[in-house]
Structure 1
Amino acid sequence: MPSLFKPPVEVGSVSLVSLDILDNAVKQAIRLKYKDVKTVSLASSVILHGTKYSEGMFVSVGSTSGLPDFAKILKVLIVGNKASFIVERFSAWYMDHFRCYELTRKLSTDLEVADPEELNNFSPLAPYMVQGRLMVSPKVFLLH
């Protein structure tokens, strides 16, 4: 019997790689989250419950001083049929005039692995530039 609902995780092309061949920053981020993993699957995009997340998109993860933090998706990580994201964190300042957030890289350049459950909202955001500033406009109010 066919299902009327989308599967929880859909991934197109996946590469199975050993942690030994990955960049040190990526390897360290994965080892912090998954201690005993030797190989992982990497993808450039994933569809979670019908929402597509791709490399280069931004997601809202965590907060600082009452403002949401954002992270850029660098790679999609699949471990044990569970998707997560290798991300680079950004700080945000709300710009009233543009009704969006201006993003700046956080001082620590450490990469992180973020699970979908850690996101403030499930809508991925496409970044854009305004007068040399990196901006994102959430479609909804972000609770954090």
Structure 2
Amino acid sequence: MIPSYDPNDTEAGLKLLEDLTTNAEAIQQQVLHQILSQNSGTQYLRAFLDGESDKNQQSFKNKVPVVNYDDIKPFIQRIADGESSDIVSAQPITELLTSSGTSAGKPKLMPSTAEELDRKTFFYSMLVPIMNK
């Protein structure tokens, strides 16, 4: 679902950026749909979605609560302890990143997948057309 373009083609990059920002709401709906399709069977989401891939935004908002790090810390700790299962992601966790620890005085662990790395690479590549403009 990550768009592709030639980062050296400034005009194509700027057009893609314009398309992405103009259609942000529709794109966010697609992203939520994709996330839920892939991850509705994870241990974390099953607790709220009963194993259904509820792709409706309003229904998702009604069923899955807004949480903070302390709420999900036990799940992340299980991953850090080496448990290999679909705890929070259907994709394998490829690395555990750590925050700087500046907000709470203690670093937080953040699970990451290969797809997440691809997404970050894409976002960083979107800087090139802007800088070349």
TM-score normalised to the size of structure 2? 0.21
Higher Cα Rg, which structure: 2
Which has the larger helix fraction? 2
TM-score normalised to the size of structure 1? 0.20
Greater relative CO (CA pairs within 8 A, separation 6+): 2
Which has the larger strand fraction? 1
